[in-house]
Amino acid sequence: MARPGERDAALPPLLAQELARVPTLHAAYEPRAMMLPIRGSRCWEDRLLGVLGERPGATASTKLAVAFDHADLVRRLLMEVKTLPVWAHLTLVRPVFETCVQVRWLLEPNSPRERVGRAVGAALSDLRWRAMIEADMRGIGWTPSASAQSGTDRSAEVARQAADAGIPAATMPDTTRLLRHFGLIPGRSQSYLFRFTSGVAHAQIWAALSGDVEQYHGETFSWQSYEANTDLTASILVAAVRHLELAGSAFVAYHEPAAPVVATDG
């Protein structure tokens, strides 16, 4: 029999320091998520392309909101409730890795058309998921309202808008590829940390066994008790917060006007 154990969160100093930064990082991101485009910013450049120009910033903003929500819950769980679960904190941090590198990919290009093309590709992928969920719901008797637009219809509309604007949709790479591209250390990837969080989310045995294990074997029964591996937890959460910082900085930079070119006498 396997049973989870729960230990008080005696956090390594570096982990406590990084988690404590999450509210500050959120405070830097949030005003930009609510502001109108500033003339000369990349956000403003994208809006000049028409209705699709809203997509890079809006998509990145939603993804970052999800990332901050998860990161702050982990912070409160470990620092305020002072509880370190065996596995659950790793499933909570998984979206932080995923969404942060996606945000950076969406906002990375210098070309407005390429940024919008990436956001269109992300939208079409999302809408395919929405269409599948709607099909499942219809299978159990759900009926949409007369004014509702289905995921399939919305996808067709976005595709038409992109075709009319001459903007090709780009396919977003998977998270492990994005983590290699946006590594915290040049030439090195944190994809293995994301794989740990994914393994736990899918209850894969190799990931479940990554904690500290105590075993007992008796005559009539045996058990294994698991506690979180604090070193692994620290590695994963510190990396997640640093990815959050970089994604938030990319979002802030996207809304800032470009620095003026100052002419100099030659």
CA 234 to chain centre: 19
CA angle 251, 19, 246 (to 5 degrees): 25
Q: What is the distance between the alpha carbons of residues 256 and 28, in angstroms, rounded to a whole number?
A: 13
pLDDT in tens, 77-133: 999 999 999 899 999 999 999 999 999 999 999 999 999 999 999 999 999 999 999
DSSP alpha helix (H) spans, the chain = 13-19, 22-34, 42-47, 55-75, 88-107, 112-139, 151-165, 175-181, 191-201, 205-208, 230-255
pLDDT in tens, 204-256: 988 888 766 666 666 677 666 778 888 999 999 999 999 999 999 999 999 99
CA angle 71, 73, 79 (to 5 degrees): 100
> Phi-psi category of 28—alpha, beta or left, where left has phi over 0 and alpha has psi -120 to 50?
alpha
Q: What is the distance between the alpha carbons of residues 96 and 220, in angstroms, rounded to a whole number?
A: 44
Q: Which residues contact 130 (CB under 8 A, 6 or more apart)?
A: 151, 154
1 pLDDT exceeds 50? no
DSSP alpha helix (H) spans, 144-259 = 151-165, 175-181, 191-201, 205-208, 230-255
pLDDT in tens, 144-202: 888 889 999 999 999 999 999 999 999 999 999 999 999 998 778 889 999 999 999 99
In DSSP terms, which residues pair with 213 in a beta bridge?
226
